[in-house]
Amino acid sequence: MLLREGNIRIPSGCAISGIMNKKGLLFSGDDIVKSIALMHERSNGLGGGFAAYGIYPEYKDLYAFHVFYHHSGAKEDAETFLKKHFEIKLSGEIPTRKVPSIKDAPIIWRYFVLPREDKLMEWGLTEEEFVVRCVMRINSSIDGAFVVSSGKNMGVFKGVGYPEDIGEFYMLDTYKAYIWTAHGRFPTNTPGWWGGAHPFTLLDWSVVHNGEISSYDANRRWVEMFGYKCTLQTDTEVITYIFDLLIRRHGLPLDIVVTALAAPLWDEIERMDDERQELVKAIRAVYGSTLINGPFSIILACKNGILALNDRIKLRPMVAATKGDFVFVASEESAIRAVCPQPERVWAPMGGEPVIALLEGVEDIWP
């Protein structure tokens, strides 16, 4: 029997794409599907997915939980747990279309919730920390249930199949968002588990990633010290947790986080002025275990914007482009030109050089 994600570490190659409107203008999922579909050959039909920000404006203050259930028992267990810890304001099945190539879909449910005040008091946690703990509890201890996303005014749509078919399946043409990211997966072996597809999320964070990081276990064992549970054994999962830890919990500015994840080389650091050198040395000394090593290109998204980043010696492709208020990032330039034939600027960011796009009027990616 093939072991699914979580029981075994499955390396995969991938395609990624992201589109954002910096003014917060909402646009449909058609473009992102078109962009990721162009890179069909970079996936193998064993996983595709999308993250969308701004899709639930009418419920923007509620946590939107997208949940997979592999059997109805799991749904019962999870709902018991949810009811105990949250006020469920609204719930229902996520609408889907019949697509011939998409098979074995789980039960896909959506909840708009708020943590129960009494539980927050009892646990003595912030609202966000409470949500994180609950999501981890469901994912690690309720068999057959998997929380796909849990942020506000955002959601993740993913599954086993080519990304364009997944987009069709979830009817993304009917959603409107100001940030879309997409992922097409080329795992080397997987039984085709829906939860294993990307993006991976936590709260508002979502990460799509192309690569196989060689620092995985160093990163995993480090974040696990801070209470995260890497149940999926995927790179995306651990990268998401690192971002969450450094940005949300340690309160570090984004440029410092980027310096930790794709650290400058020592010979470069030696050429920096004394003050900068002291800072970067301290980052490498303290956050050495968050250095992501080996090939990767990632797009981190949250409600404030996106960050696209390559490993420090650029072992994976990534191209960025802008036109007007739109920012595009993709594994291949063609995937950008498929939806924006004449961008104003196109460039291949250097290894470790971040592409940051924030909503107008926002100072940093968090809070």
Window of 131-139, 290-298, 302-310, 342-350 that interacts with other proteins by CB under 8 A: 290-298
Site for other proteins in 307-346 (CB under 8 A): 312-313, 315
Q: Does 266 bind other proteins (CB under 8 A)?
A: yes
Options 71, 226, 344, 350; binder of other proteins; rule CB under 8 A:
226
Q: Does 192 bind other proteins (CB under 8 A)?
A: no
Q: Which is nearer to other proteins, 94 or 218 (CB)?
A: 218
Least separation in angstroms between residue 313's CB and other proteins is 6
Window of 82-90, 169-177, 292-300, 301-309 that interacts with other proteins by CB under 8 A: 292-300
Least separation in angstroms between residue 225's CB and other proteins is 5
Least separation in angstroms between residue 228's CB and other proteins is 11
Interatomic CA distance for residues 280 and 215, integer angstroms: 20
**Active-site residue identified among 14, 134, 230, 302:** 14
| Cis peptide upstream of residue 191 (ω within 30 degrees of 0) | no
> Which H or E run contains 350?
none
Nearest to 345 by CA among 333, 356, 354: 333
Interatomic CA distance for residues 69 and 109, integer angstroms: 8
Q: Does 149 bind other proteins (CB under 8 A)?
A: no
Q: Does 216 bind other proteins (CB under 8 A)?
A: yes
153, 54 Cβ separation under 8 angstroms? yes
Options 160, 208, 283, 302; binder of other proteins; rule CB under 8 A:
283
Q: Which is nearer to other proteins, 24 or 317 (CB)?
A: 317
| Cis peptide upstream of residue 349 (ω within 30 degrees of 0) | no
Around Cβ 354, how many Cβ atoms within 10 Å?
Answer: 18
Least separation in angstroms between residue 333's CB and other proteins is 21
179, 299 Cβ separation under 8 angstroms? no
126, 105 Cβ separation under 8 angstroms? no
Q: Which is nearer to other proteins, 231 or 289 (CB)?
A: 289
Query: Would residue 302 show up in a list of annotated catalytic residues for this protein?
Result: no
Contacts of 308 (CB under 8 A, 6+ apart): 18, 297, 298, 299, 300, 318, 320, 329, 349, 354, 355, 356
Q: Does 294 bind other proteins (CB under 8 A)?
A: yes
Cα angle, residue 240 at apex, residues 312 and 227 outer, rounded to 5°: 120
Token output for 126: 């912030």
What is each CA distance from 197 to 251, 290, 319, in whole angstroms? 29, 23, 23
Q: Which is nearer to other proteins, 90 or 282 (CB)?
A: 282
Q: Does 224 bind other proteins (CB under 8 A)?
A: yes
Least separation in angstroms between residue 85's CB and other proteins is 24
Window of 66-74, 120-128, 175-183, 291-299 that interacts with other proteins by CB under 8 A: 291-299
233, 9 Cβ separation under 8 angstroms? yes
Q: Does 256 bind other proteins (CB under 8 A)?
A: yes
**Catalytically annotated residues:** 14
Query: What residues line the site for other proteins (CB under 8 A)?
Result: 9, 11-13, 188, 211-219, 221-222, 224-227, 249-250, 252-253, 255-256, 263, 265-267, 275, 278-279, 281-289, 291-295, 312-313, 315
